[in-house]
Amino acid sequence: MTETVLVTGGAGYIGSHMTLSLLEAGIQVVVLDNLCNSTAESLRRIERICGKAPVFIQGDIRNNAILDNIFTEHRIDAVLHFAGLKAVGESVQKPLDYYSNNVAGSLNLYQAMARAGVFHLVFSSSATVYGEPEQMPISENAPIGTPTNPYGRSKLMVEELLKDLAHSDPRWSIALLRYFNPIGAHESGLIGEDPNGIPNNLLPYISQVSIGKLKELAVFGNDYSTRDGTGIRDYIHVVDLADGHLKALQAISTQSGIHVWNLGTGTGYSVLEMIKAFEHASGVPVPYRIAPRRPGDIAECWADPSKAARELGWQAKRGLEEMMLDTWRWQSGNPQGYME
């Protein structure tokens, strides 16, 4: 039985929703986060929501002394590894930072786990590893693509590393979870996505336009061969994503080896459909203009989530309207994010 887990990156967007879900499921949580892209306020909000708090250690996954100390002080059954950098554009400018945090940091963490005899791991991967997929929807058997940027390559490298690790030693039990596009926020409106600076991703951009923080959205291309010419993605509610991790955690507690699961809804929406759905949920107009395509973007990408349904008994429950309402509640209630 899983009693205590280590969540790296637990103060961040997905990690904070995960920490809340784990605490609500009666699992104790140790969070390790260096707060390079988050604040400890997210953890205080979690306590406000559920009345329980994780143990918080501010530190870096590349610090061996901190890792060894955590594994000595706490009886960790499994690790959920979210810590890392995730901005695609920045990864092109600062590849060393990305390989250091995402690849060297992950390697360091797995070495510390092995030293401590902890072999259960859930890793945050991304649909980005599929590159430009030939067929929709994308199943786990689809060929791995060639990521076009250091961020994508860092995820692919860690996936390969983990496959080698699992094949080398049957004690390892690893879930590789490939996320599609996580959006939304907890229904309380107390935790959500709080990007630093100008957001890169669609939903944070739309929501900052809606509260007047940004002037207008640039829609990156309307000449794709999609139903309205704009890019199509599989947006998944962050709380559904966290539920998927809980199921994966259960699964790896009883089976060893490495398992890959897509976490998506199986439905794709275009950029224009997302704008409309947000306007409908919030009652606020989102001004936009059509801009050139963003380099590196693909036309469409949505998941075949049937493997997770079959093997984990998991499927996303929250539809587009709920994703938009929850995003709006978080953004309108916290216009400055966690900075009150």
Q: Which residues bind ligand UD1 (CB under 6 A)?
A: 86, 88, 126, 128, 151-152, 181, 200-202, 205, 217-220, 231, 233, 271, 294, 296-297
Strand partners, 32: 8, 57
Residue 50 interacts with ligand NAD (CB under 6 A): yes or no: no
| Chain centroid to CA 12 | 9
Residue 91 interacts with ligand NAD (CB under 6 A): yes or no: no
Residue 37 interacts with ligand NAD (CB under 6 A): yes or no: yes
What is the chain's alpha carbon radius of gyration, rounded to the nearest angstrom?
A: 19
Nearer to ligand NAD, 27 or 263 (CB): 263
User: 9's torsion region: left (phi>0), alpha (psi -120 to 50) or beta?
Assistant: left
Partner interacting with residue 14 (select from ligand NAD, ligand UD1, none; CB below 5-8 Å by kind)? ligand NAD
Distance of closest approach, residue 67 Cβ to ligand NAD, in angstroms: 10
Which residues contact residue 109 at a Cβ distance below 8 angstroms, ignoring those fewer than 6 apart? 8, 61, 67, 79, 81, 83
Contact 160, 147 (CB under 8 A): no
- Give the pairing of strands 257-263 and 173-179: parallel
- DSSP per position, 154-194: HHHHHHHHHHHHHHH-TT-EEEEEEE-EEE---TTSSS---
Nearer to ligand NAD, 196 or 255 (CB): 196
Active-site residue (options: 151, 235, 269, 338)? 151
Distance of closest approach, residue 149 Cβ to ligand UD1, in angstroms: 7
| Joined tokens for residue 30 | 């140790």
Question: Could you tell me how many residues of this chain bind ligand NAD (CB under 6 A)?
Answer: 29
Identify the residue among 21, 101, 173, 270 touching ligand NAD (CB under 6 A).
101
Nearer to ligand UD1, 295 or 333 (CB): 295
Partner interacting with residue 30 (select from ligand UD1, ligand NAD, none; CB below 5-8 Å by kind)? none
Cα separation of 308 and 17, whole Å? 20
Cα separation of 102 and 157, whole Å? 9
Dihedral (C-alpha) 97, 101, 103, 104: value to the nearest 10 degrees? 100
Identify the residue among 61, 113, 116, 248 touching ligand NAD (CB under 6 A).
61
Q: Note if 98 is an active site residue.
A: no
Partner interacting with residue 207 (select from ligand NAD, ligand UD1, none; CB below 5-8 Å by kind)? none
| Joined tokens for residue 229 | 């010419």
Partner interacting with residue 124 (select from ligand NAD, ligand UD1, none; CB below 5-8 Å by kind)? ligand NAD
Distance of closest approach, residue 335 Cβ to ligand UD1, in angstroms: 19
Q: How far is CA 228 from CA 74, 216, 221, 224, 225, in A?
A: 53, 20, 10, 8, 8
Residue 36 interacts with ligand NAD (CB under 6 A): yes or no: yes
Cα separation of 245 and 243, whole Å? 5
Identify the residue among 2, 5, 13, 230 touching ligand NAD (CB under 6 A).
13
Q: Classify 102 as helix, strand or coil.
A: helix
Residue 179 interacts with ligand NAD (CB under 6 A): yes or no: yes
Active site residues: 151
Site residues, ligand NAD (CB under 6 A): 8-9, 11-15, 32-38, 60-62, 82-86, 101, 105, 124, 126, 179, 181-182
